[in-house]
Amino acid sequence: MRHLKIKKFNNEANKVDLQDEILVETLNNFFKLHRDDQLKFSLGAGLYKLRIATKEGRGKSGGSRSILAFKNDNGVYWLHLFSKNDKGNVTTSELKKLKHLADIMFALTDEQISKLINLGELCEVNTNG
């Protein structure tokens, strides 16, 4: 399963020094949850909002929030990252745009994904630590 970040997410992650290992750990913890518990984080249309510890000592509750798109074997796409201090949640307008973006991501072929990676629009998450 591919594990990718869009360019905007990658830029935001770099600003807060968010390492790929944290993304992998966050996702692994999410996948360990029972399906009913995973649904608590669902925003619909394959989008999920997960907490991420982005500052040392602040932990997940004071850190950032991420929006990722995931549907079965279509891969994982990290789409949006924001600080809880900046805003409590995504707006309805943002959510609509993120759902549209998720639909686009889910429809990409392997060839299209490779091209977007080569163009710098997508980045692969280092899942090997």
- The answer to whether residue 116 is domain-embedded is yes
Per-residue pLDDT, averaged over 93-108, amounts to 97
Return the half-sphere exposure (C-beta side, CA atoms, 13 A cut-off) of residue 86.
Answer: 10
- The answer to whether residue 129 is domain-embedded is no
Q: Is the distance from CB of 79 to CB of 102 less than 8 angstroms?
A: yes
- The answer to whether residue 99 is domain-embedded is yes
User: Residue 101: which residues within 8 A CB-CB, separation 6 or more?
Assistant: 6, 69, 79
Residue 34 has pLDDT above 80, yes or no: yes
Amino acid 57: pLDDT? 41
∠ CA 22-51-91, rounded to 5° = 130
Say how many domains are in the chain.
1
Per-residue pLDDT, averaged over 37-62, amounts to 81
Phi–psi pair at 34, nearest 5 degrees: -65, 150
- The answer to whether residue 91 is domain-embedded is yes
